A and B are shown apart, each in its own frame.
Chain A
């Protein structure tokens, strides 16, 4: 990046605490400093957050992958599905031409809600410990 000593840069970041609490000894400050200075404790804290977010993404992916990646195989092995009609239209057309999109939005919505919850929990945890 630059010729600045990394630990120095990190310490400088720690000072930029938005709540501007004066004392380094309040509980929230300590955890924040661990994160900012990337100590081993900070590392563990951060991993807990990234792991939670990755697990969440993996869960959404599992649902998404199961249905979306499953569909072509299903259509290929069960050609009779094309004879089913929904509102007068063949089932594959209804699924691919319309139903997929609300499903994508729903999955996205569930992800955003839980990802934000994970982050709020993380912030609260840091501020309490």
Chain B
């Protein structure tokens, strides 16, 4: 991993992104305005941009890591990330574009004529935006560690600062071209190495993926332990070691050690050499990843989580319904010239995401075969980065490692910039009072808060963090958008109460899980992924309170319904927010 080629690829892609952003700002400030005004952004172009901004560290690194760790059940995450756009297409895309709302707070205020609901919506834009930034920064921390060997915090701080500066100086802002480029870069970076890896994959290895055996080192493997870890081995394991194991120090010339079955502790800084054919140890607390359990639904993950079927449904609900509520995605729909183009764009997004999400599972499965040391070092989130170098030697391996590293950088830089713009915009507009300097202040505050919390989340899987951001979005903005678009009876009081109840329940449950880590049982299942009950609670509250306050319907409901639902050909549209 630590090769000059990889470093050069990352630096080159980062500089290219920043330069295109900064230079593009000059030429494209007019061009992109021109695009919006003259309505010539083609759906395919726009869809590339949406997908480019959407495919984050969670998609690029996290999915493969979770699949490697827990097995096939984790494929529900990418399925949900893509299926969320079908829900968005069916219920939101065209009417929302016709309404002309730029952001969710704009929609809330325009549809319900309420500043209170607007402020509440802004609050949750901040919560969701920051929450979604955490896994991006975690991705940055582990990627930089994998490439340069820097400590976790250094990656978080450096990339956090880079993104903040990027947003501060206006790079990437609203430029369709940059984000569209990012999609194609990420697709190339994940697909090309995957195809090469599959060509080197030996068919006889396939059996070991589904057989009841632990992952095994195929070749002699040297593992650098960077964090103290307590691990388990199933049988006597022979290894060579330099460093401290179970309190004993071993020097460079020490003879091989035989570990008895059971628990052992290795101290940070150790270097362990596993001979070929040795089974890979697993950290205490991780599921037992024998192939038969790993490859089956409700297999490996089940032994770790309480009520895995409930968890799966809750993740599905969060991702299906949360996508429409992500603050950085909605803005992009505004570049569609009309409702019809918004629909076509969404359809293309489904196509582009489907094309991408075929690949992460390949890395997850091959990682189990060829990089089992990542279980021990708890680095499964970096399997995409590590794999090309493990399977291919020489320049080919380095070039492909450089490509995936560049893709990973593209993933968290593009998503994090989009999120930071949304958060800074919300701060500038609703918290400070909307001037350019306020946007800059917002960007600095947003970036600082994100980095501060990003330092604390190293132990959480990237995708679990992202799943929580989706759960909060699904519990607040999904009911607001769906009922706001399709139900005349929604009142400001109903919407406000629903957002407060759904958002409060979901964020409360997640905070308890993060801080207190409930033990096994229904409490862990219900709090660990709350969407299954917090989303219905939000819908229920919105409907009941709206009925109770039915006499205070917002003004011009009928005209707003006409504007949202009639085709542009009739010329009845009217932007409720400019």
Instruction: Write out, one digit per residue, whether chain A residues 12-56 have a CB within 8 A of any chain B CB (1) or not (0).
Output: 010011100000000000001001101000110010011001100
The answer to whether A10 touches B565 (Cβ under 8 A) is: no
CB contact under 8 A between A54 and B567, given known A68-B83, A92-B72, A109-B347: no
- Measured in the bound complex, the distance between the Cα atoms of B488 and A93 in whole Å is 43
Q: How large is the interface on A (under 10, 10 to 19, 20 to 34, 35 or more residues)?
A: 35 or more
The answer to whether the Cβ of B259 comes within 8 Å of any Cβ in the partner chain is no
The answer to whether A46 touches B561 (Cβ under 8 A) is: yes
The answer to whether B561 touches A64 (Cβ under 8 A) is: no
The answer to whether A43 touches B571 (Cβ under 8 A) is: no
The answer to whether A6 touches B559 (Cβ under 8 A) is: yes
The answer to whether B86 touches A1 (Cβ under 8 A) is: no
CB contact under 8 A between A102 and B571, given known A46-B566, A82-B296, A112-B343: no
Give the interface centre of A18, A72, A109 by most chain B CB atoms within 10 Å: A72
- Min CB gap B490→A, angstroms: 14
- Measured in the bound complex, the distance between the Cα atoms of B555 and A81 in whole Å is 55
The answer to whether B358 touches A98 (Cβ under 8 A) is: yes
The answer to whether A96 touches B558 (Cβ under 8 A) is: no
Give the interface centre of A90, A96, A98 by most chain B CB atoms within 10 Å: A96
Identify the closest chain A residue to B362 (Cβ): A97
The answer to whether A108 touches B571 (Cβ under 8 A) is: no
Stretch at the interface among B88-96, B192-200, B382-390, B467-475: B88-96
- Measured in the bound complex, the distance between the Cα atoms of B84 and A64 in whole Å is 12
The answer to whether B82 touches A108 (Cβ under 8 A) is: no
Tell me which residues across on chain A come within 8 A of B353, comparing CB atoms: 101
Give the interface centre of B79, B82, B94, B346 by most chain A CB atoms within 10 Å: B79
Interface of A is mostly: helix
The answer to whether B90 touches A72 (Cβ under 8 A) is: no
The answer to whether B89 touches A108 (Cβ under 8 A) is: yes
Q: How large is the interface on B (under 10, 10 to 19, 20 to 34, 35 or more residues)?
A: 35 or more
The answer to whether the Cβ of B260 comes within 8 Å of any Cβ in the partner chain is no
The answer to whether B350 touches A104 (Cβ under 8 A) is: yes
- Measured in the bound complex, the distance between the Cα atoms of B307 and A76 in whole Å is 11
Stretch at the interface among B133-141, B309-317, B367-375, B443-451: B309-317
CB contact under 8 A between A96 and B76, given known A90-B295, A102-B354: yes
Interface of B is mostly: helix
Tell me which residues across on chain B come within 8 A of A120, comparing CB atoms: 567
- Measured in the bound complex, the distance between the Cα atoms of B72 and A108 in whole Å is 25
Tell me which residues across on chain B come within 8 A of A10, comparing CB atoms: 559
Tell me which residues across on chain B come within 8 A of A96, comparing CB atoms: 72, 75-76, 79
The answer to whether A92 touches B566 (Cβ under 8 A) is: no
Instruction: Write out, one digit per residue, whether chain B residues 325-366 have a CB within 8 A of any chain A CB (1) or not (0).
Output: 000000000000000100110110011011101100100000
- Min CB gap A14→B, angstroms: 8
Identify the closest chain A residue to B554 (Cβ): A1
The answer to whether the Cβ of B569 comes within 8 Å of any Cβ in the partner chain is yes
The answer to whether B566 touches A49 (Cβ under 8 A) is: yes
Residues 68-101 of A at the B interface (beta carbon under 8 Å): 68-69, 72-73, 75-76, 79, 81-82, 88, 90, 92-93, 96-98, 100-101
Tell me which residues across on chain B come within 8 A of A6, comparing CB atoms: 555-556, 559
Which residues of A are interface residues toward B (Cβ below 8 A)? 1, 6, 9-10, 13, 16-18, 32, 35-36, 38, 42-43, 46, 49-50, 53-54, 57, 60-61, 64, 68-69, 72-73, 75-76, 79, 81-82, 88, 90, 92-93, 96-98, 100-102, 104-105, 107-109, 111-112, 115-116, 119-120, 122-123, 126
9 A-B pairs besides A76-B298, A100-B82 with CB distance below 8 A are: A6-B555, A13-B572, A35-B570, A43-B558, A50-B561, A57-B91, A82-B297, A90-B72, A116-B343
A and B contact pairs by CB, cutoff 8 A, 28 listed: A1-B576, A6-B555, A13-B574, A17-B571, A36-B572, A38-B558, A38-B562, A46-B566, A50-B565, A53-B565, A60-B86, A69-B316, A72-B297, A76-B309, A82-B295, A88-B206, A90-B72, A100-B82, A101-B357, A101-B358, A104-B83, A104-B86, A104-B350, A105-B354, A107-B86, A108-B85, A109-B347, A116-B340
